[in-house]
């Protein structure tokens, strides 16, 4: 393992010391239900799902620098944009904006609220903002699982201004997206277990996430060169796709993660590392011709929800 990692955990860390963030190799700090973690190279930022807060930490010491309320429920994702921290509140379907100075998060200055429902009565009874995607020219896109929409904003001086939306097939339940340098977008549908390919804002293809029969909740998605990867919670696999000349994903392999409920994964070194939430493990893979190959390396860690390279 040559890459340092930061891990968000719902339960205990490697030493069983409690809910929090771990830097591997490094240390651990208690943090309430950090469901997603990012870093700017000097500081760590986490959303605390249970408490509805965002927190920041010094990377070298893991000292807690600041904690602020997002003004919403169950925050699950965050992004740093032009000196501000934006948080997606899954439970309430809103996005909060916080100024950041030298790693310290300020009080919320803005909160935008989504509205609507989807056809799944259990998961789409209201909006559920799930990811914030910064784009060029001050554009920001919010992926909303509850309303089957990508909601587009401009962002300037800490203010989000809604400028449009991209509808997805009803019941998709978009969780996360990966953006290709060509401008194509790939949307992981958590609820219908598909990858939706968007070209120029239109649906160009819909591809199953897994070839395994049974229920599946797609989670993380990422692009590496001309390959696309999606984690599948249910069959507990990573599916590798090759992008054809038109950018359509073609499945080339589906590999067991070696754990249960792959909540997240990250591209690291010449491979990837998977956070298996319900088996309390990280597992490592190399990539050979785009196919994940298990290395046999495993790390015991408490209920990992997010893994990011440093």
Are 228 and 271 in contact, with CB atoms under 8 Å apart?
no
Q: Which two tokens stand for residue 143?
A: 């992926």
The predicted-structure confidence for 68-100, as pLDDT tens digits, reads as follows: 999 999 999 999 999 999 999 999 999 999 999
The tokens describing 161, both together, are 């201004």
Answer with the residue of higher pLDDT: 30 or 119.
119
Query: Is the model's pLDDT at 240 over the cut of 90?
Result: yes
Helix (H) or strand (E) holding 241: strand 237-243
Provide the β-strand partners of residue 162: 153
Which of these, 131, 33, 23, lies nearest to 77 by C-alpha position?
131
Mean pLDDT value across the chain? 94
What pLDDT digit, counting tens, does each position of 100-151 carry?
A: 999 999 999 999 999 999 999 999 999 999 999 999 999 999 999 999 999 9
The pLDDT of residue 15 is: 44
Pick from 255, 295, 262: which is nearest to 279 by CA? 262
55 pLDDT exceeds 50? yes
What is the 8-class DSSP label of residue 107? P
pLDDT (tens digit, 9 = 90+) per residue, 167-183?
A: 999 999 999 999 999 99
The mean pLDDT of 220-231, rounded to a whole number, is 98
Instruction: Quote the percentage of the chain above a pLDDT of 70.
Output: 97
Task: Give residue 32's pLDDT.
Answer: 80
pLDDT-derived band at 255 (thresholds 50, 70, 90) equals: very high
pLDDT of the residue at 19: 54
Residue 58 CA to residue 65 CA, distance in Å, equals: 7
Contact 82, 155 (CB under 8 A): yes
């Amino acid at each position: 393992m040559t890459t340092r990692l930061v891990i968000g955990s719902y339960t205990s860390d490697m030493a069983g010391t409690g809910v929090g963030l771990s830097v591997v190799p490094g240390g651990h700090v208690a943090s309430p239900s950090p469901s997603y973690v990012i870093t700017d190279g000097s500081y760590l930022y986490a959303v605390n799902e249970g408490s509805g807060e965002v927190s920041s930490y010094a990377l070298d010491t893991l000292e807690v620098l600041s904690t602020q309320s997002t003004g919403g429920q169950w925050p699950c994702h965050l992004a740093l944009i032009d000196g501000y921290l934006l948080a997606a509140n899954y439970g309430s379907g809103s996005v909060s904006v916080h100024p950041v100075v030298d790693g310290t998060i300020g009080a919320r200055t803005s909160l935008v609220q989504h509205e609507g429902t989807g056809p799944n009565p259990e998961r789409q009874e209201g909006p559920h903002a799930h990811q914030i995607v910064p784009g060029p020219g001050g554009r920001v896109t919010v992926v909303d699982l509850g309303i089957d929409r990508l909601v587009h904003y401009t962002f300037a001086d800490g203010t989000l201004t809604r400028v449009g939306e991209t509808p997805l097939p009803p019941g998709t339940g978009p969780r996360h997206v990966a953006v290709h340098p060509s401008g194509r977008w790939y949307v992981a549908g958590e609820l219908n277990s598909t990858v939706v390919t968007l070209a120029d804002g239109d649906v160009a293809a819909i591809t199953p996430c897994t070839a395994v029969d049974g229920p599946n909740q797609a989670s993380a998605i990422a692009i590496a060169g001309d390959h696309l990867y999606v984690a599948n919670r249910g069959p507990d696999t990573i599916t590798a796709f090759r992008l054809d000349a038109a950018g359509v994903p073609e499945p080339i392999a589906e590999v067991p993660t070696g754990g249960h409920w792959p909540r997240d994964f990250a591209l690291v070194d010449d491979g990837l590392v998977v956070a298996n939430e319900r088996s309390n493990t990280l597992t490592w893979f190399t990539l050979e011709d785009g196919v994940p190959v298990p290395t046999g390396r495993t790390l015991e860690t408490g209920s990992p929800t997010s893994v990011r390279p440093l």
